[in-house]
């Protein structure tokens, strides 16, 4: 099950690991991505704090972690081909994987239906 943040990141729990990316809505709003800064494997992230940055021809935005933990994987493929974000933001377009001891923290984020209502009203 996926959860969504108001800052337009999505998170999917897989055991004690949480996979994180940005939503299709965010990708659409950004337009053509020109720069992506992701953390290194082993970096510690804090829920609600920035873990990276994404820039497009339109804007620059920070990327926020949904949970506390350690980055255990980084999708280097999207740094080489930003079009993956447009083509498959919820699959191949994932950004980082975080090992967390508190995956239940995701329950505080929006469900898919709540997120769609949130962006519809935006």
In angstroms, the Cα distances linking 121 to 8, 11, 101, 108, 115 are 14, 21, 34, 20, 10
Average pLDDT score over the chain:
94
Q: Name the residue ranges covered by the structural domains of the chain.
A: 2-120
pTM above 0.85, yes or no: yes
pLDDT tens-digit profile of 69-109? 999 999 999 988 999 999 999 999 999 999 998 878 899 99
- pLDDT at position 121 is 79
User: Which helix (H) or strand (E) segment is 85 a member of?
Assistant: helix 83-87
Q: Count CB neighbours of 87 within 10 A.
A: 11
How far apart are the C-alpha atoms of 54 and 72, rounded to whole Å?
Answer: 20
Q: Does domain 2-120 have CATH number 3.40.190.10?
A: no
Q: What percent of the chain has pLDDT over 70?
A: 99
């Amino acid at each position: 099950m996926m959860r969504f943040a108001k800052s337009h990141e999505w998170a999917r729990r897989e055991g004690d690991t949480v996979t994180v990316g940005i939503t299709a809505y965010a990708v659409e709003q950004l337009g053509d991505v020109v720069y992506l800064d992701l953390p290194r494997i082993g970096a510690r992230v804090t829920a609600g704090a920035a873990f990276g940055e994404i820039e497009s021809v339109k804007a620059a935005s920070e990327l926020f972690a949904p949970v506390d933990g350690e980055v255990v994987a980084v999708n280097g493929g999207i740094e080489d081909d930003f079009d993956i974000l447009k083509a498959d933001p919820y699959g191949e377009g994932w950004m980082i994987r975080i090992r967390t001891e508190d995956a239940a923290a995701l329950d505080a984020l929006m469900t898919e239906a709540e997120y769609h209502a949130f962006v519809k009203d935006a």
